[in-house]
Amino acid sequence: MTTPPLPGPPKTVWPCLAYRDAPGAIRFLTDIGFEQTCAYTDADDPSIVEHAELRWPEGGGVMLGTAQRPERVMEHHPAGVGSVYVATDEPDAVYERCRRAGATVVRELREEEYGSRGFTITDPEGVIWSFGTYRGE
């Protein structure tokens, strides 16, 4: 599957995550606003995601797959481990989508002293996701 490139400079940092239930992770992430661009499953077991990419509409994205597959690098990447920061101009709307999707809020939506507005959740497998207006310097 070929997808058009994202506008602007190339997106060269793609966090890679492993999940016990990768199809469930894809559903959760699309519920909170990511867009699935591809997902390749095992020919014999469609519950095993070999590789998936999800883009964030404001730029960048993540890659993920099913953990604990000895023939793949994900064998060395335990499920439910990781932390990702996602920049957004709409933290309040993303916060509401996360709550509707059943995310566990670990830091409520708030204004930070450095000027960002954001919050932190965990997804159903424990990966930590922070969303905020801060875009780096």
Per-residue pLDDT of 38-82, as tens digits, reads 999 989 998 999 999 999 999 899 999 998 765 655 556 778 888
Q: Is residue 83 part of a domain?
A: yes
Distance of alpha carbon 67 from alpha carbon 76, whole angstroms: 8
Q: Is residue 8 part of a domain?
A: no
Q: Is residue 125 part of a domain?
A: yes
Model confidence pLDDT, tens digit, residues 79-120: 888 899 999 999 999 999 999 999 999 999 999 999 999 999
- Residue 133: burial class (beta carbons within 10 Å; 0-12, 13-18, 19+): middle
Q: Is residue 29 part of a domain?
A: yes
User: Long-range CB contacts (< 8 A, 24+ apart) of 96-101?
Assistant: 97/31, 97/32, 97/33, 98/32, 98/129, 98/131, 100/31, 101/28, 101/31, 101/32
65, 82 contact by CB (below 8 A): no
User: Domain span at residue 55?
Assistant: 16-132
What backbone torsions phi and psi does residue 76 show, to the nearest 5 degrees? -95, 5
Which pLDDT score is estimated for 10?
A: 56
Q: Is residue 5 part of a domain?
A: no
Q: Is residue 52 part of a domain?
A: yes
Whose structure tokens read 């953990």?
67
Q: Is residue 9 part of a domain?
A: no
- Number of domains, the chain: 1
Q: Is residue 98 part of a domain?
A: yes
Which pLDDT score is estimated for 108?
A: 97
Q: What is the CATH number of the domain that holds 31?
A: 3.10.180.10
Which pLDDT score is estimated for 79?
A: 82
